[in-house]
Chains A and B, each alone.
Chain A
Amino acid sequence: MHNSLILAIVIVTALGFDFTNGFHDTANAVAPTIATRAMPPRVAVAMSGALNLVGAFLSLKVAATIASHIVNPAYVTLPVIFGGLVGAIFWNVTTWFLRVPSSSSHALIGGVVGAMLVHAGSQAVYWHGIISLVVAPGIAAPIIALVVAGTALLLARLILRGTDRRSLDAGTRVGQIGSSALLSIAHGTNDAQKTMGIITLALIANGSLSASSSTPTWVVIVCGLAIAGGTYVGGWRIIRTMGHGVTHLSATQGFSSQIASSTVILSSSHFGLPLSTTYVATGSIVGSGLGAPPHLVRWRLLGRVGTAWIVTLPAAGICGALAFGLESIFNETAGVFVTGLALIGYCVAVFARSRRGAVTPDNVNDPWEPRVAGEESLPPLSSEVA
């Protein structure tokens, strides 16, 4: 009985993580589209949410989860999964509050590794997998995206020279909406499956499913709905940072960065080494900022973002370890309850605090005001030039 209760709590927590993954990552697909006004904010997140749902149903090939290549599945227990999820949600909510784009996948991996280290020690963690699947791609992703976006922008500016404003808006809008749609589907396919994998792993660890079972249909449905719901709610704080904070985006820049993001993400999926959509999208925006006059980005803000990227894995790991440690103080069921309540209390407090100076669809495109001491102010965009 108590195992079924813990399993139910783990599943609900996994769906909670899926929801935060959705709203945390909305910006990756729609920030430039919203910032350049290619689509109205609410329409953009509604489209992205719907296509995330579609994406969740398209493929189940990675539902075996990246986590099984990061930790030894033989050591996985329900409390370890729960601790990892709590660490990941804690970090996602914190970075959302701080308006910093960071990888939800890295947060999940960090959380699970942290909880596993406390549970079974270092021998249960595949360090080789962490470097080859998480750290190296994490460093390469923004660099690749930056170069692709910058080159695409140079080419677009060359071809579009002399284009009238009306045609420019129409052409770049087609590109941005198409690539936003593609990114949303790719995100639903890749990220919803991570939660499907976690829930499947929990069902197997509980003995509810045999190890060779495929992901049950109800798991696919609830995960798809959770990530779509999170995306629809929209992480407006991060959308604002990516759309207006990093640099001023013209229509041509938004167009180039979106196309670069979607081709890099799809190429990485094709070659079997999925890159973080957050790192790719941020790298593309920086590439677009540097690729066109006045060739400026807000380096201080990017320094803050880079710091968050570096600490995401260890910080989520520490959160996961602390969550598992807190669970271990009590007996299994009580520990999960207490840790879950602590997480809910933290999320409610952060949400209440975020209401002060809230970012909404109505003010997401307001002029950027520096939030970091000494943050560079960028000159306003001149009249649109190709």
Chain B
Amino acid sequence: MVMATKATPLIAWNTLAEIFVFSLVAGLLIVTLLSIGTQALSQSRRDQSGPVRVAYQGVVAFALLSTAALIGWGLYLVIHKS
């Protein structure tokens, strides 16, 4: 929690900018991962040939695991920074 003392700027522009950049990067990363996973799922359902299908499923698994890792990291932030 930011202490509201005389030393604190009236508007914490730097903190707001950090929040914006951090959330934009994290949000786009999660959206990209899940969207790629969704697209790969869609392709794997279309392509019935074995190796290609397995490769697409690997992409789906990677996207899900990466997203889970990012969400776990978010949870870590909630626990340790709030």
Residues of A bordering B, CB below 8 Å: 55, 58-59, 61-62, 64, 66, 69-70, 126, 128-129, 131-133, 136-137, 140, 144, 147-149, 151-152, 155-156, 159-160, 162-164, 166-168, 170-172, 174-175, 178-179, 182, 185-186, 189-190, 193, 255-256, 259-260, 262-264, 266-275
Q: Which residue of A lies closest to B26 (CB)?
A: A263
- Choose among A69, A168, A178 the residue that contacts B1 (Cβ–Cβ < 8 A): A69
Asked whether, in the complex, the Cβ of B24 is within 8 Å of the Cβ of A269, the reply is no
Residues of B bordering A, CB below 8 Å: 1-6, 8-12, 15-16, 18-20, 22-24, 26-28, 30-32, 34-39, 41-42, 45-46, 64, 67-68, 71, 74-75, 77-82
Asked whether, in the complex, the Cβ of B77 is within 8 Å of the Cβ of A168, the reply is no
Asked whether, in the complex, the Cβ of B27 is within 8 Å of the Cβ of A128, the reply is no
Q: How far is the CB of A147 from chain B (nearest CB, A)?
A: 7
Distance, CA A129 to CA B24, complexed state (A): 27
Q: How far is the CB of B72 from chain A (nearest CB, A)?
A: 10
Asked whether, in the complex, the Cβ of A256 is within 8 Å of the Cβ of B31, the reply is yes
Asked whether, in the complex, the Cβ of B38 is within 8 Å of the Cβ of A271, the reply is no
Asked whether, in the complex, the Cβ of B11 is within 8 Å of the Cβ of A136, the reply is yes
Asked whether, in the complex, the Cβ of A271 is within 8 Å of the Cβ of B18, the reply is yes
- Which B residues are CB-close (under 8 A) to A70? 4
| Given known A136-B11, A178-B67, A260-B27, contact A167–B41 (CB-CB < 8 A) | yes
Asked whether, in the complex, the Cβ of B24 is within 8 Å of the Cβ of A148, the reply is yes
| Given known A155-B32, A167-B42, contact A273–B27 (CB-CB < 8 A) | no
Distance, CA A129 to CA B8, complexed state (A): 9
| Given known A144-B20, A267-B23, contact A167–B45 (CB-CB < 8 A) | yes
| Given known A168-B42, A174-B64, A266-B78, contact A132–B31 (CB-CB < 8 A) | no
Distance, CA A236 to CA B14, complexed state (A): 37
- Choose among A129, A152, A175, A269 the residue that contacts B81 (Cβ–Cβ < 8 A): A269
- Choose among A144, A151, A166, A273 the residue that contacts B12 (Cβ–Cβ < 8 A): A273
Q: How far is the CB of A202 from chain B (nearest CB, A)?
A: 20
Asked whether, in the complex, the Cβ of B15 is within 8 Å of the Cβ of A273, the reply is yes
Most chain B Cβ neighbours within 10 Å, of A69, A148, A171: A171
| Given known A69-B1, A70-B4, contact A61–B34 (CB-CB < 8 A) | no
Asked whether, in the complex, the Cβ of B30 is within 8 Å of the Cβ of A259, the reply is yes
